[in-house]
């Protein structure tokens, strides 16, 4: 990415020791008495999914960090306006510690508490948006998403992920940098960028979620957590089915299916009268009664018709959800 020496100087100011709060004169809430270049002084940035970020912030946002790197959710997305359509800009994101403290989660009070002095800060890195550099006309016509950014706690990471310390609180910062290709651009590097901070995006880096409410909210809102939602729904349905089946007092092997020998024996049994619809509630009742009718007894499954006597338990599969017949079911319902 060839952007000229002025851009390198600007990036060094952002990522180096020369950075100070005085470099934030163009935040959206401040006046327009600004020493920045006109191309960046008029830039406005709006955080996307702001209400969702605030929901997380009220609970204490947590972001997973792993050795291999983990994506953020909510994803940092913004909408930008006020850019010079013909000028080129570079967008980058970095993370700064909110304080010099280390935290721990107190489960008895469901809150974060200071656990001591923070660890030594990880090497400072910045994440360049992959579309950089691009003209202002391109940035303003789309939602800018940093969905490729990953967080890691591996101090030796060589994949360009953002290195964070677990159990520390961080604040993301968005930097909009004007690409100045003039010869003396280094002299005006401090004028060619503007920084935006959204307090609701701060978070605590963790290796595993501590607050169960954060876990629930992420599963409920993250479109990539569909599998977790489906699994949770299936678990609830399975628990409900097991509760309903508990009153049947069936042998445990009923829930595990029939053996091949039992399948063969069932195939030689006369097939009972059946309905054409496998999802018919009457058929489900008949199947349940058939499973209960082991031992000496009479099975009146079809309007009181004479059934068969079984001298040994007939192990039938009684599925909780009638998605399709099993082998034992097929031998009974044809």
pLDDT digit string, tens, across residues 159-171: 999 999 999 999 9
Residue 307 has pLDDT above 70, yes or no: no
Predicted confidence (pLDDT) at residue 211 exceeds the cutoff of 80: yes
pLDDT at 181: 86
Q: Which phi and psi (to 5°) does residue 267 adopt?
A: -65, -25
Stretch 78-92: mean pLDDT: 97
pLDDT at 118 over 60: yes
Mean pLDDT is lowest, of 124-133, 156-165, 208-217, 285-294, for 285-294
Quote the pLDDT of residue 257: 45
SS3 317: coil
Find the helix or strand (DSSP H, E) in which 180 lies: none
User: Length of the chain, please?
Assistant: 334
Bigger pLDDT: 244 vs 216 = 216
Alpha helices in the chain (DSSP H): 5-15, 38-41, 50-59, 136-140, 212-221, 226-246, 260-268, 281-292, 327-333
Separation of alpha carbons 13 and 3, rounded Å? 16
**Is beta strand 62-64 parallel, antiparallel or unpaired with respect to 203-206?**
parallel
pLDDT at 265 over 90: no
Higher pLDDT: 237 or 179? It is: 179
pLDDT of 170 reads 97
SS3 state at 162: strand
Specify the pTM.
0.63
In the structure encoding, which two tokens stand for residue 55, read together? 């929901």
Residues 103 and 167 sit within 8 Å (Cβ to Cβ): yes
pLDDT at site 103: 97
Short-list 48, 16, 28, CA closest to 194: 28
Report in angstroms the alpha-carbon separations of 73 from 76, 215, 219, 249: 8, 11, 10, 46
Give the 3-state secondary structure of residue 173.
strand
Question: How many Å apart are CA 304 and CA 310, to the nearest integer?
Answer: 17
Q: 3-class DSSP state for residue 237?
A: helix
pLDDT at position 250, please?
A: 39
Percentage of the chain surpassing pLDDT 90? 51
Buried b (16+ CB within 10 A) or exposed e, 85-116: eebbbbbbbbbebeeeebbebeeeeeebeeee
Lookup: tokens for 199: 């307090």
204 vs 23, which has greater pLDDT? 204
- What residues pair up with 18 in beta bridges, in sequence order? none
Higher-pLDDT residue of 291, 218: 218
Q: How far apart are the first and last CA of the chain?
A: 69
Tell me what the mean pLDDT of segment 142-163 comes to.
95
Hey, which residues does 14 pair with through a beta bridge?
A: none
């Amino acid at each position: 990415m060839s952007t000229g020496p002025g851009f390198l100087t600007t990036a060094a100011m952002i990522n180096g020791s020369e950075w100070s709060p005085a470099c934030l004169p163009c935040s959206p809430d401040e006046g327009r008495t600004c020493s920045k270049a006109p191309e960046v002084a008029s830039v406005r940035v709006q955080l996307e999914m702001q209400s969702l970020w605030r929901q997380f912030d009220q609970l204490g946002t947590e972001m997973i960090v792993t050795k291999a790197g983990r994506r953020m959710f909510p994803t940092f997305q913004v909408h930008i306006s006020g850019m010079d359509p013909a000028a080129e800009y570079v967008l980058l994101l970095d993370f700064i510690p909110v304080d010099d403290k280390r935290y721990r989660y107190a489960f008895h009070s469901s809150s974060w508490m200071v656990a001591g002095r923070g660890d030594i800060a990880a090497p400072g890195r910045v994440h360049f948006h992959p579309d950089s550099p691009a003209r202002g006309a391109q940035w303003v016509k789309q939602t800018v998403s940093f969905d490729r950014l990953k967080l890691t706690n591996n101090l030796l990471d060589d994949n360009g992920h953002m290195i964070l310390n677990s159990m520390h609180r961080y604040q993301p910062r968005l930097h909009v940098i004007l690409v100045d290709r003039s010869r003396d651009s280094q002299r005006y590097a401090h004028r060619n960028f503007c920084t935006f901070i959204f307090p609701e995006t701060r978070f605590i880096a963790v290796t595993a979620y501590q607050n169960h409410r954060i876990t629930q909210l992420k599963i409920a809102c993250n479109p990539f957590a569909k599998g977790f939602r489906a699994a949770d729904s299936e678990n609830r349905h399975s628990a409900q089915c097991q509760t309903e089946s508990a009153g049947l007092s069936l042998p445990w092997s009923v829930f595990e299916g029939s053996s091949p020998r039992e399948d063969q024996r069932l195939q030689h049994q006369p097939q009972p009268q059946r309905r054409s619809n496998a999802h018919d509630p009457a058929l489900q009742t008949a199947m349940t009664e058939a499973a209960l009718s082991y031992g000496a007894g009479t099975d009146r499954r079809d309007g009181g018709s004479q059934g068969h006597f079984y001298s040994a338990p007939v192990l039938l599969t009684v599925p909780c959800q009638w998605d399709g017949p099993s082998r034992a079911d097929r031998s009974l319902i044809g």
